[in-house]
Structure 1
């Protein structure tokens, strides 16, 4: 059995800081945890026209997070909150890549903003700014380091996530101002924060289609490691 090749989507930044040219970015821990769980990470530049070529080679896909949002027009919203920032080429690539992988029934893991994009792809809508839509909301953009828990989530029994982590409560970190809102018939909610915010989704039509609102690559709980191990296991093939 060969090591599964795992595509990891990159963030994109405008000139400034690292380079005076546009540049890609990826936290090292995204790749570290894929390697530790038995996968071979491959960073994916935003080339929408190369989706089919990537699809042929990849065994799994991680759609990462970032300090930007899904364009509200993608889920039918007619208004756009003042806090919304988009990265259109990145989103186009990630949307096309995730849809292609799912169509081929290859595993997809969406993390934070990646979970939100997955939710939209599967027919859901988003809360554009949690403080404006959720009463008594938690600090979902936690003030403490991302290496620590921001809050816990209730894991829904009987879901794929529950089978993976084997617990009904999981400590998670939190770095988002948007969240999943309305769900489609294809979406199963698998984790919820104490304030009612959706923290995880899955679609059981596929071999492995899982989204989590937190960042398991920080490995703040054993459940985070189990999520990554299960994802890589699902990506293993007899090539």
Structure 2
């Protein structure tokens, strides 16, 4: 059988560094993890008018992370915290393609900032800056390398995520200053950090709709690999 086609969202950078002109960016291990799990990855440029065309062709969607934030206007979050950085065209595209994928019941995996975007699409709100909102918060922007664990998460029994990873705890990496703030109707919190910060969500009404706050594409645990395999299994299903 042909490999399922997995759309992967890109980051966007202003001129400078790699090029004197605007450029897209995507860490290689997102694509490596999809390939290893049995998928054929394709990058999705930020073209809101092409969302329908992309969704006709892809079997599933990965919403990636990045060093930016969802504009609080998307979730009624009030004034932006001083630390908030937005990328408006990227967010407009990701919001539209994620909502479109869910409307078509195509599998969606949100990673880090992609989990936050997915949470907002599902009707949730965000903590704009964890250190200002959570007492005794962990270092969610871990000081050690991203291919090492930063803390553990507790995986809620009875959730789809728990069934996939087969463990009550996972060691995860951590690179975020925002997080899901609530559990709106239809959204289940499937993982939490020791300080209570939401680390994973899922929406059981869809065949596969999971967001995790860590970066499973680094494959630092067997649970990460199982998550990608389950996502690809859903993408390959008729």
Shared fold (TM-score greater than 0.5)?
A: yes
The answer to whether the Cα contact below 8 Å between 2:77 and 2:126 also exists between their aligned partners in 1 is no
Alpha-carbon distance in 2 for matches of 1:9, 1:192? 25
Is 1:174 the counterpart of 2:191? The answer is no
Number of equivalenced pairs: 238
TM-score by length of 2: 0.99
- Cα deviation code 1:33-64 (max 9, x no counterpart): 10000000001100000000000000010000
The answer to whether the Cα contact below 8 Å between 1:123 and 1:186 also exists between their aligned partners in 2 is no
> Shift in Å at residue 124 of structure 1?
0.7
In structure 2, the partner of 1:210 is 210
> Shift in Å at residue 77 of structure 1?
1.6
* CA RMSD of superposed structures (Å): 0.6
In structure 1, the partner of 2:223 is 223
> Shift in Å at residue 90 of structure 1?
0.3
Alpha-carbon distance in 2 for matches of 1:80, 1:98? 23
Alignment of 1:1-239 (within 5 A): 1-238=1-238
Alpha-carbon distance in 1 for matches of 2:75, 2:183? 11
> Shift in Å at residue 79 of structure 1?
1.6
> Shift in Å at residue 70 of structure 1?
0.2
> Shift in Å at residue 165 of structure 1?
0.3
Q: Unaligned stretches of 5+ in structure 1?
A: none
The answer to whether the Cα contact below 8 Å between 2:7 and 2:61 also exists between their aligned partners in 1 is yes
Alpha-carbon distance in 1 for matches of 2:94, 2:78? 23
- Cα deviation code 1:102-139 (max 9, x no counterpart): 00000000000000000011111000000000000000
Following superposition, which runs of at least 4 residues in structure 1 exceed 6 angstroms of deviation? none
> Shift in Å at residue 183 of structure 1?
1.8
Alpha-carbon distance in 1 for matches of 2:121, 2:102? 10
Alpha-carbon distance in 1 for matches of 2:163, 2:236? 19
Alpha-carbon distance in 2 for matches of 1:182, 1:33? 29
TM-score by length of 1: 0.99
The answer to whether the Cα contact below 8 Å between 1:68 and 1:85 also exists between their aligned partners in 2 is yes
- Cα deviation code 1:45-104 (max 9, x no counterpart): 000000000000000100000000000011102221000000000000001001111000
